[in-house]
Amino acid sequence: MRSEEAALLTHDELEARLVRDGRELERQVLQDHFELRALKERRLEEVRDATGVAHNAVEAGHERALTAMVGTVTVSRLAYRAEGQPNLHPADAAANLPADRYSFGLRELAAIESSRGSYEEARDAIERATGVRVPKRQVEQLACRAASDIESFYSSLDRSPAEPDDVLVVSADGKGIAMRPEALRPATAKAARSSAHKMAGRLSKGEKANRCRMAELVVVYDSHPVPRSPEDIFSCEPGHPAEKRQDAPTAKNKWLSASVVEDTSAVLRRAFDEAERRDPEHKRTWVALVDGNNHQIRTIKTEAKARDVAITVVVDIVHVLQYIWGSARCFFEEGDPAAEAWVIDKARAVLAGNSSLVAASIRRKATYLGLDKTKRKKADECANYLLAKRPYLHYQTALAQGWPIATGVIEGACRHLVRDRMCVTGARWGLKGAEAVLKLRAVRSNGDWEPYWSHHKAEERRRVHETQYLNSAISRTA
């Protein structure tokens, strides 16, 4: 920095030079450290593999590469050998070196960046941050390996205790992901193969079906009860000003999970496992919030019965509103303020527990106005929906007990977990990569990344090193 050459450089050229030289200095320090370890490594008196075979022959100078965030270094260590058996390297276990060449630092960076953007973007972000270029395929493989211990992590995670009167909420939804042909479910792949295309170079209108695989999402959270009235939900009358309305119940201690490999039953089973970890004695109030999907409802009821859990299924009020608004367009012109007042009136009646009366009144109005079958279609659909979902429109009870009645938490998860990353333009996913990225995004969304990564490194140590030895303690003391 005192040289004439440095004096002629601009600040950005100096900065780039310092970053480059600084990385090389850090790489050399790491290399020197491993060389010092090799010099100090002492031969162990006895090393036996997991089958009990003694590895008595010892050779020095066995080398392997390690690509770290500061560059690639060479690690030299003792190899314990036995005829017909793979070599053992206790020093690898002591340093918890990965099975492949990439360090845990690079793995973590690959996992985080892959869950944020495309693999190409992740590759470029890694190179910008570290100066190390990891090929795109290796980035995907590192992300997949990084997600391998998520299920075991959550099965052993301690939960923060909830308040005794907190409601335990389970919610589920699905979102389609465009997949490569080999990753589609058999029925979807068959339909895709049998569909005729009008043009060779692109899909025409109506030909884009049978390209997706459904990602199933579940969320479990605690919610402190906030009793409300229908007027707290829809209030535009004098005497009930907005500032006096009760706020909606909020979600806390959220746990989110997703899978594009498992079906609805398997993902919901995992959600019930999580709920039982929070309430093993089934003493709390359980509520299932759904969007009206019949298969979801049947699966939830079946799982609850198998576990002897009393759970109340509530259909999302927003989906009900969509049907009511659809019927309103049969009776009012677009933009008519009277339509909003009519919708609010019907919505309040549904919230008060009168969904059957609302369905009947909508049919009567369509008949009174003399609408033909086509013009009254949305009105009939709304009435049919209200009658079909009547067993799950427990809004009068839900509001009185302070339960949430909207699926905003799981809807938001579908948006930020799936759509924002998995549905980018032109993306076509393989099954393994899609599953890994979904799970990694779920862990980050739950705010559990740091404890998960510590758990993953410990599991990698067990898999890669400790399982090789008859006495796994050798990997900790070598």
Q: Could you tell me which of 284, 289, 282, 283 has the C-alpha nearest to residue 305? A: 282
140/234 same-domain check: no
Q: Could you tell me which of 96, 66, 90 has the C-alpha nearest to residue 78? A: 90
Q: Strands 286-290 and 311-315: what pairing?
A: parallel
- Using DSSP's 3-state secondary structure scheme, residue 349 falls into helix
Taking the CB of residue 182, how many other CB atoms lie within 10 A of it?
A: 8
Q: Point out the domain boundary residue: 372, 390, 405.
A: 405
CA dihedral 85, 86, 90, 91 (to 10 degrees): 150
401/304 same-domain check: no
291/352 same-domain check: no
Which residue segment(s) compose the domain that 434 sits in? 159-194+209-313+428-447
97/119 same-domain check: yes
Q: What pLDDT score was predicted for residue 239?
A: 46
321/288 same-domain check: no
378/462 same-domain check: no
11/127 same-domain check: yes
213/362 same-domain check: no
113/244 same-domain check: no
Q: Could you tell me which of 74, 73, 71, 66 has the C-alpha nearest to residue 130? A: 71
**Using CA atoms, how far apart are residues 71 and 31, in angstroms rounded to an integer?**
10
Q: Strands 286-290 and 167-178: what pairing?
A: parallel
304/173 same-domain check: yes
**Using CA atoms, how far apart are residues 103 and 132, in angstroms rounded to an integer?**
12
> Is residue 422 a part of any domain in this protein?
no
40/116 same-domain check: yes
> Is residue 28 a part of any domain in this protein?
yes
Weakly modelled stretches of the chain, pLDDT under 50:
238-240, 242, 477-478
372/344 same-domain check: yes
> Is residue 415 a part of any domain in this protein?
no
Write the pLDDT tens digit of every residue in 32-69: 999 999 999 999 999 999 999 999 999 999 999 999 99
> Is residue 440 a part of any domain in this protein?
yes
Q: Could you tell me which of 464, 458, 418, 51 has the C-alpha nearest to residue 258? A: 418
Total tally of structural domains belonging to the chain: 3
Q: What pLDDT score was predicted for residue 155?
A: 87
> Is residue 472 a part of any domain in this protein?
yes
Token digits of residue 139: 């980035």
> Is residue 351 a part of any domain in this protein?
yes
> Is residue 264 a part of any domain in this protein?
yes
Write the pLDDT tens digit of every residue in 170-226: 999 999 898 888 888 777 777 766 665 666 556 665 555 678 889 999 999 999 999
> Is residue 152 a part of any domain in this protein?
no
